């Protein structure tokens, strides 16, 4: 879907994020230039210090040198601060914007993307990858600019003192560059692998945290630990390879630099040369060379930092380039009437695995209640998914009020449908917030309490210490399954949409609360189009019409009485459940 981005393309795109701050960056560069100059200043100060203070004993330089020293370090301190502050400011802005963009895109990716991408990797994009990019954008750029400038100034100064000694540096320079190239390739490969392995680690521990009850119930600790250890070990190995690459590259480069230094010292102290250069100049030259080592060392390390940033930027931009949910409809919709029609709908989650819905046609009139019945896996939830446009059908068309769903604006379409699903998702917030989620801007307390009451949730809410203002903990773990479902029903009531979709919405309720909630739902259904999926057939008997699905096809449809008389699949299912019901009052939902 997305073309792999070249490194230079990535830089350009990242640069795009920094462009608005070019003025601040200008200030940063200026302070880096001054900072870099102080190193050369320090080396240059050696010359008057030795020649003037010690050999000639000139009173002016005796006063000047100590003051200059203080001045140099003051300048270094101030420019160092400005560099760090401005670069961090830019870097943090970039982080903020990248996070905003990633979050924005994650919210709008199609459901299918989430089906195919592990959550841990998506989370680590937002946390880990973005930080890596920030590192590259601030620390690496600082090192790159400041240390190259430092090196440049020092080299120029050295050249000024003695051209031919400096030339030695240029002879050995290419060796260093070739070495850096080799090292950088290794870094790039390793940092990409480390990133994947970090994602794996997050993914894995996240799964176990969410599934901790399951792990406990099935005594899965040991097995999970073994699994985790494998991931953990892989991460350690990769990190060690990185450490080895980092650790080896630095001393090799330094050793080469030291060889050069030794050679220079040897050549410079040969008689012929010492005649031409004063002691002060010579010490200045050596000082400049020594001062060169530090920036060169940092420049060799910065490569790893940049490569990490590039690898992270690549994965961030790949996500940002994913196409959003298709939302090409132009038809606005305030409030739908609620006539729904499925016309020859065909759909497959995965084209290799065949169609899950096949040639399906049926319609639901405005205000009608239609129940979807069928064995587990027959495609009931898939139909609900299609109605909400979590997926689009491959063939045929689904229409609302005579227009294909794809003709409407996506947000308008979804506003028409209140859905209560099988898995109730609750946010780590107050009950009031969770119930009023459909209108987060104006959560009307009265409305929320009324909805909670209608859903028979108020009775248990009132027993909580802070009532509707109770925070319900991560994913609502503090509530029972039945309580969670009633919250979800209240949430659907607040939404007040013309179409109500209930996908096994009462499956976790006990018989008593179920009949209470059924009554509430019956009241809620008045004047609305209702699509109800239920496992327990007792809850669908009252529907105006029952549609029976079998392996994604329409098996039969009609009223409860008609279908029983028909003696088909529905009658089979019904008899099966009736037998279970007499054997056990509460069949598995
Ligand atoms: N996200 C998905 N990706 C791939 N296959 C899926 C997905 N969701 C459901 N399926 C498959 O589609 C079929 C119908 O599932 P579903 O509509 O959930 O059935 P029901 O709700 O009737 O139990 C099943 O075979 C199921 O395995
Ligand atoms: Mg289902």
Q: CA dihedral defined by 510, 515, 517, 521, rounded to 10 degrees?
A: 140
| Angle in degrees, CA 186, 189, 192, rounded to 5 | 145
CA distances (Å), origin 198, targets 35, 46, 103, 129 = 37, 49, 19, 10
Task: Indicate the CATH number for domain 7-320.
Answer: 1.20.1560.10
Cα 500 from Cα 518, distance rounded (Å): 13
Sign of CA dihedral 269, 273, 276, 281: negative
For each of the chain's 589 residues, which pLDDT tens digit applies?
A: 344 567 778 888 888 888 899 999 999 999 999 999 999 999 999 988 888 888 888 888 888 889 999 999 999 999 999 999 999 999 999 999 999 999 999 999 999 999 998 888 888 888 889 998 888 878 888 999 999 999 999 999 988 888 877 777 667 666 766 776 677 777 778 888 888 888 888 888 888 888 888 898 889 899 999 989 999 999 999 999 888 888 887 787 678 767 777 877 787 777 555 567 788 888 898 888 888 878 887 887 787 788 888 889 999 999 999 999 999 999 999 999 999 999 999 999 998 888 999 999 999 999 999 999 998 899 999 999 999 999 999 999 999 999 999 999 999 999 999 998 878 888 888 888 889 988 766 668 888 999 899 888 888 888 888 888 888 876 566 788 888 888 888 999 898 899 999 998 877 777 777 777 777 787 788 889 999 998 777 778 889 999 999 999 999 999 999 999 999 999 998 888 876 665 554 444 3
Residue 422: which residues within 8 A CB-CB, separation 6 or more? Answer: 381, 503, 504, 505, 507
Cα 246 from Cα 187, distance rounded (Å): 8
Ligand nearest to the CA of 114: 1
**Max CA separation in the chain (angstroms):** 121
Evaluate: CB of 525 within 6 angstroms of ligand 1.
Answer: no
Contact 248, 180 (CB under 8 A): no
Beta bridge partners of 553: 550
Ligand 1: centre distance to CA 377 (Å): 6
Q: What percent of the residues of the chain are helix, what percent strand, and what percent coil, each to the nearest 5?
A: 70, 10, 20
CATH topology of domain 421-496: Rossmann fold (3.40.50)
Task: Indicate the CATH number for domain 328-416+498-589.
Answer: 3.40.50.300
Measured N-to-C along each axis, helices 163-210 and 221-268 cross at an angle, to the nearest 10 degrees, of: 170
* Ligand 1 atom 20: residue of nearest CA: 377
* Ligand 1 atom 26: residue of nearest CA: 377
Picking from 183, 112, 100, 126, the residue whose alpha carbon sits closest to that of residue 315 is: 126
Ligand nearest to the CA of 550: 1
Burial readout 293-323 (b: 16 or more C-beta within 10 A, e: otherwise): eebbbbbbbbbbbbbbbbbbbbbbbebbeee
Evaluate: CB of 422 within 6 angstroms of ligand 1.
Answer: no
pLDDT for position 535: 76
| Angle in degrees, CA 340, 345, 350, rounded to 5 | 130
Evaluate: CB of 115 within 6 angstroms of ligand 1.
Answer: yes
Evaluate: CB of 379 within 6 angstroms of ligand 1.
Answer: yes
Evaluate: CB of 562 within 6 angstroms of ligand 1.
Answer: no
Ligand 2: centre distance to CA 307 (Å): 46
pLDDT for position 273: 59
Lookup result for tokens 């993307």: 113
* Ligand 1 atom 24: residue of nearest CA: 377
The answer to whether the 7-320 and 328-416+498-589 domains have the same CATH topology is no
Closest ligand 1 atom to residue 349 Cα is 4
Ligand nearest to the CA of 116: 1
Evaluate: CB of 354 within 6 angstroms of ligand 1.
Answer: no
CB-based contacts of 208-216 (< 8 A; 24+ apart in sequence): 210/475
Evaluate: CB of 358 within 6 angstroms of ligand 1.
Answer: no
pLDDT for position 28: 95
Residue 305: which residues within 8 A CB-CB, separation 6 or more? Answer: 135, 136, 139, 140, 143
pLDDT for position 440: 61
Q: Where are the alpha helices (DSSP H) in 269-277?
A: 271-276
DSSP collapsed to 3 states, 165-179: HHHHHHHHHHHHHHH
Test site for ligand 1: of 382, 386, 423, most ligand atoms within 8 A of the Cβ: 382
Closest ligand 1 atom to residue 380 Cα is 22
Ligand 1: centre distance to CA 47 (Å): 81
- Output the pTM of the full model: 0.79
Ligand 2: centre distance to CA 571 (Å): 20
CA distances (Å), origin 263, targets 172, 266, 578 = 11, 5, 97
pLDDT for position 275: 63
Cα 187 from Cα 210, distance rounded (Å): 34
Ligand 2: centre distance to CA 379 (Å): 7
pLDDT for position 443: 65
CA distances (Å), origin 391, targets 398, 405, 416, 436 = 12, 11, 17, 26
* Ligand 1 atom 9: residue of nearest CA: 382
Cα 456 from Cα 461, distance rounded (Å): 9
Q: CA dihedral defined by 322, 328, 332, 334, rounded to 10 degrees?
A: -40
Closest ligand 1 atom to residue 422 Cα is 21
Q: Where are the domains of the chain?
A: 7-320, 328-416+498-589, 421-496
Test site for ligand 1: of 381, 507, 573, most ligand atoms within 8 A of the Cβ: 381
Question: For residue 526, what are its two tokens?
Answer: 């008045």
Ligand 2: centre distance to CA 306 (Å): 47
Evaluate: CB of 114 within 6 angstroms of ligand 1.
Answer: no
Ligand 2: centre distance to CA 15 (Å): 47
Evaluate: CB of 421 within 6 angstroms of ligand 1.
Answer: no
């Amino acid at each position: 879907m997305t073309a792999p981005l070249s490194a230079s393309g990535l830089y350009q795109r990242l640069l795009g994020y920094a462009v608005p701050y070019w003025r601040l960056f200008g200030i940063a560069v200026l302070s880096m230039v001054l900072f870099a100059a102080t190193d050369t200043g320090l080396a240059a100060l050696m010359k008057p210090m030795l020649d003037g203070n010690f050999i000639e004993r000139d009173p002016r330089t005796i006063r000047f040198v100590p003051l200059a020293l203080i001045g140099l370090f003051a300048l270094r301190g101030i420019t160092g601060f400005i560099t760090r502050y401005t670069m961090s400011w830019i870097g943090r802005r970039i982080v903020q914007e990248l996070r905003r963009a990633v979050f924005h895109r994650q919210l709008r990716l199609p459901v299918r993307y989430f089906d195919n991408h592990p959550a841990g990797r998506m989370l680590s994009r937002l946390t880990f990858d973005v930080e890596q990019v920030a590192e590259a954008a601030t620390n690496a750029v600082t090192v790159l600019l400041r240390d190259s400038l430092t090196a440049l100034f020092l080299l120029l100064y050295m050249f000024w003192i003695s051209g031919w000694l400096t030339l030695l540096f240029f002879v050995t320079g290419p060796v260093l560059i070739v070495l850096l190239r080799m090292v950088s390739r290794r870094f790039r490969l390793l940092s990409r692998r480390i990133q994947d392995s970090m994602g794996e680690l997050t993914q894995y521990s996240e799964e176990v945290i969410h599934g901790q009850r399951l792990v406990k119930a099935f005594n899965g600790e040991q097995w999970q630990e073994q699994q985790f250890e494998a991931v953990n070990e892989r991460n350690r190995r990769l990190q060690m390879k990185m450490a080895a690459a980092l650790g080896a590259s630095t001393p090799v480069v330094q050793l080469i630099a030291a060889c050069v230094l030794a050679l220079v010292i040897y050549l410079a102290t040969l008689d012929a040369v010492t005649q031409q250069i004063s002691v002060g100049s010579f010490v200045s030259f050596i000082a400049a060379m020594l001062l060169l080592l530090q920036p060169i060392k940092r420049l060799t390390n910065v490569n790893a930092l940049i490569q990490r940033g590039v690898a992270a930027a690549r994965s961030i931009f790949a996500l940002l380039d994913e196409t959003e949910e298709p939302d090409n409809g132009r038809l606005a919709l305030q409030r739908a009437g609620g006539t729904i029609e499925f016309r020859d709908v065909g759909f497959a989650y995965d084209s290799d695995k065949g169609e899950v819905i096949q040639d399906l046609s049926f319609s639901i009139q405005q205000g009608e209640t239609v129940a979807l019945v069928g064995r587990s896996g027959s495609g009931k939830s898939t139909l609900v998914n299609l109605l909400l446009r979590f997926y689009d059908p491959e063939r045929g068309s689904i229409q609302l009020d005579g227009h294909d769903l794809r003709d409407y604006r996506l947000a308008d379409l979804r506003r028409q449908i209140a859905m209560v699903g099988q898995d109730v998702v609750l946010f780590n917030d107050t009950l009031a917030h969770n119930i009023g989620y459909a209108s987060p801007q104006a959560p009307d307390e009265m409305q929320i309490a009324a909805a909670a009451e209608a859903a028979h949730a108020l009775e248990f809410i009132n027993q909580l210490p802070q009532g509707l203002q109770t925070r319900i903990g991560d994913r609502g773990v503090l509530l029972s399954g039945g309580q969670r479902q009633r919250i979800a029903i209240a949430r659907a009531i607040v939404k007040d949409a013309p179409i109500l979709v209930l996908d096994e919405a009462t499956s976790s309720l006990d018989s008593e609360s179920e009949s209470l909630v059924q009554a509430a739902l019956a009241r809620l259904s008045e004047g609305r189009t209702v699509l109800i999926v239920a496992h327990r057939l007792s809850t669908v008997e009252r529907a105006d019409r029952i549609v029976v699905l079998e392996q994604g096809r329409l098996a039969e449809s009609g009223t409860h009485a008609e279908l029983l008389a028909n003696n088909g699949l529905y009658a089979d299912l019904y008899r099966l459940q009736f037998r279970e019901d007499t054997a056990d009052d509460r069949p598995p939902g």
